[in-house]
Amino acid sequence: MLKVGAAQVVGLALVTTVAFGLPASAEKWPGTSPVVGGAIAAKAVGKVCPGVLQPDDMTVLQTYIDRYLDTIGERDPGTREHFSTKLLPEMEKSYTEQHAKPGGCGTGAVELAQDMVQRVRAAAGDTAYWDRVRNPRVGAIDAVYAKAVGQACAGALTGPEVERLDAFVAREMGEFAKTSSEADTSATWAYLRDSEKKFADELHSRQQCTEMVRKDARDIVGKVTALAPAK
């Protein structure tokens, strides 16, 4: 079954945002906190780009990834299993191939990797950061997943609830655009639209409109509603 936890992380993988991943041309992830997708990308750069990272840097990245997996495993062992056996290995393979291509070890890749190592080192003793990993805030990818449930599962959500999800995604992307390039923002919008279709197709093809899936979607709507700006 496609769970909310899995939906949150599918995005980490292969494309474009602070929560998900970033194109090789980008020099840094938005924000200042480490991102597990960024740690995977930095590790790939360290493997294929000589001299960019030191052995100690690679150890620091792997320690962070292991701790991240253990932390999310506290709340969702299934998601940890999915990350460790499928999602993160696929990400590492993809990033390694990307950076092994001609031009893959350019200035952008170097700055991205070194910046992520610094973030990972800074987060090692940051309890607030690890609390956020343990109890993540609802994000755009969650809202997209809930909307897909509403589309695929008749009666799961009402029209006004879907509108709330759309408004939330628009607000999140508005904030993202403030610190991101136009290209990254455009690519992230495309990713979210593609994810919505993939989630809906998955639910249709596997006939997964169970009560638990419907409840997941309603729970996300509740969290989104709680974050809505006061009128």
Are 116 and 209 within one domain?
Answer: no
Are 160 and 98 within one domain?
Answer: no
Q: Indicate the residue among 86, 106, 134 that finishes a domain.
A: 134
Angle (CA) 222 224 227, round 5° = 110
Are 121 and 151 within one domain?
Answer: no
pLDDT for 30 equals: 64
Are 121 and 38 within one domain?
Answer: yes
pLDDT for 206 equals: 64
Q: Specify the residue for token string 């999915």.
A: 82
Are 113 and 184 within one domain?
Answer: no
CA distance 25 to 180: 13
pLDDT for 20 equals: 39
Burial class (CB in 10 A: 0-12, 13-18, 19+), 106: middle
Are 157 and 46 within one domain?
Answer: no
Question: What would you measure as the largest C-alpha separation in the chain, in angstroms?
Answer: 56
- 91-96 long-range contacts, Cβ below 8 Å, gap at least 24? 91/12, 91/13, 91/14, 91/21, 91/37, 91/40, 91/41, 92/40, 92/43, 92/44, 94/13, 94/14, 95/40, 95/41, 95/43, 95/44, 95/45, 96/44, 96/47, 96/48
pLDDT for 9 equals: 35
**Low-confidence residues in the chain, pLDDT < 70:** 1-31, 206, 231
Are 173 and 207 within one domain?
Answer: yes
pLDDT for 51 equals: 95
pLDDT for 10 equals: 38
Contacts of 108 (CB under 8 A, 6+ apart): 24, 25, 26, 27
Q: Indicate the residue among 70, 102, 134 that finishes a domain.
A: 134
Tens of pLDDT along 62-114? Answer: 999 999 999 989 988 888 888 898 888 888 998 899 899 999 999 989 999 99
pLDDT for 1 equals: 33
CA distance 92 to 81: 16
Q: Indicate the residue among 108, 134, 160 that finishes a domain.
A: 134
pLDDT for 8 equals: 39
Are 17 and 71 within one domain?
Answer: yes
Question: Which tokens sit at 61?
Answer: 């990245």
Number of domains in the chain: 2
List the domain range (segments joined by +) for residue 207: 140-227
pTM exceeds 0.75 for this model: no
Are 27 and 120 within one domain?
Answer: yes
pLDDT for 76 equals: 81
Are 91 and 156 within one domain?
Answer: no
